Amino acid sequence: MIKRFNEVNGLYIEKIYGQDRLAFAMSDTSDLYDLVEYAQRGGYQGSVIKFYDFENGNVYTPFEKKRDVIYSKPAYVDGFYYFLQADYGQGKVTLYKYLPEEVLEAVAEFGTDEVDLYNLQIVGEKVHVISQNGEVFKCYYPEKISFPLEGSETVELLTDDRVYIEKWIEEGWDEENNCATDEYKYYDEVLIKDHAGNTLSEEVGSIYQASDGTYWLA
């Protein structure tokens, strides 16, 4: 049997890691940087973020569609859902704390000229608003952190004094013939750095968040 949500609109729903109750969907792109390109072409029609409840089949839309407004992918932290709303018309990005039919609260606000919209996102372990563009990592909330990144590095989560980074490694690639050799390997390493960007440890592995919110090294 196929169950139905109380609102069926053909959007692609995605998992929110760390829990099992809600999934989400965007009515359009989730890349906040697209706002810059849209503005150069005369503006953006706007999008909405929707939350799908597997417990009761309800679909929740925290905000109605508004021109020049776009949303980030949500994150689940300590019992609440968090997402970013970028409003190019008002020149601001707002971090919201959300629980359907209970909580919709603005937690922090940034000017669009204060943040890099490219890969602007929320990561755990607690709520951190960061951006990373393949060259520089920046954290804007709850504290300001910045240090260089390599193109193969991606920040996955932060703790009070550590930054956890995945780095992809590719070995055995034949550059001349543009193909994999018999010794080809592709895998991830996890780097742990302090908030100044100093590498404290490095090992083979990748980070995965389970449905109970715990993080695993695989």
For residue range 109-124, list pLDDT tens digits in order. 999 999 999 899 999 9
**The model scores a pTM over 0.85:** yes
> Is residue 133 situated within a structural domain?
no
Domain count, the chain: 1
Question: pLDDT tens across 15-73, in order?
Answer: 999 999 999 999 987 688 888 888 788 888 999 999 999 999 999 999 999 999 999 99
Would residue 10 count as lying in a domain? yes
In a domain, 95, yes or no: yes
| Host domain of residue 24 | 1-113
Q: Would residue 7 count as lying in a domain?
A: yes
Residue 142: which residues within 8 A CB-CB, separation 6 or more?
108, 126, 127, 128
Q: Is residue 197 part of a domain?
A: no
Within-domain flag for 82: yes
Amino acid at 15: K
Q: Tens digits of per-residue pLDDT, 127-162? A: 999 999 889 999 999 999 999 999 999 999 998 899
